[in-house]
Amino acid sequence: MQISKGQENQLVASNNGTTKTTAPSKSIIEKKIRNYDYLKRNAQNERALEIDKLQREAANFNLSSLAIYDQSEKSKYDVIIRSPYSKLYIKYDPLGNIISSAEQYKNLKVPLKLSQKIARKYPGWGFEKSIYSVKYRNGKSLKGKYNIRLRKGEKYKSVQFNVL
């Protein structure tokens, strides 16, 4: 993990996909899970495992384990979590709760229902690449969209679909 102190009271931590995380435990009695609202609002039936893995890593990120963390300062912390095809910009409060996130996932499998919708709307076109972007703000609605580049022979077309 790469960590550097940015502007006054700002922390930037970068993870190049080398840490291992586990999913929050589930039980019959719902436990108070750190950043539960973030995980709940992001939950979808059809999404790539890469998204789940990185969002759990963001939800479970422990600011206090960092040497430069200072609990006495009431600052916000910006953390970047990276993998080869994804990047998450997460803003935390001093207690480690997620305030907001801006996430981007490249060339992940498009959900089946969306694939079928695109196939019906653009017959004969194939998927060239995709980018799934999602923005979260604590207590507010989640915004997600797919930008997809389609190809048919030598022709290209970019389409956008809002989800969530």
- Amino acid 25: pLDDT: 43
Does the predicted TM-score (pTM) go above 0.85? Answer: no
Q: From the first residue on, what is the mean pLDDT of each consecutive set of 10 residues in the chain (164 residues)?
A: 40 42 41 72 71 90 82 86 94 91 94 93 96 89 90 96 86
What is the distance between the alpha carbons of residues 36 and 60, in angstroms, rounded to a whole number? 10
Chain center to CA of 152: 30
Residues 4, 133, 34, 47: what is their CA dihedral angle, to the nearest 10 degrees?
-130
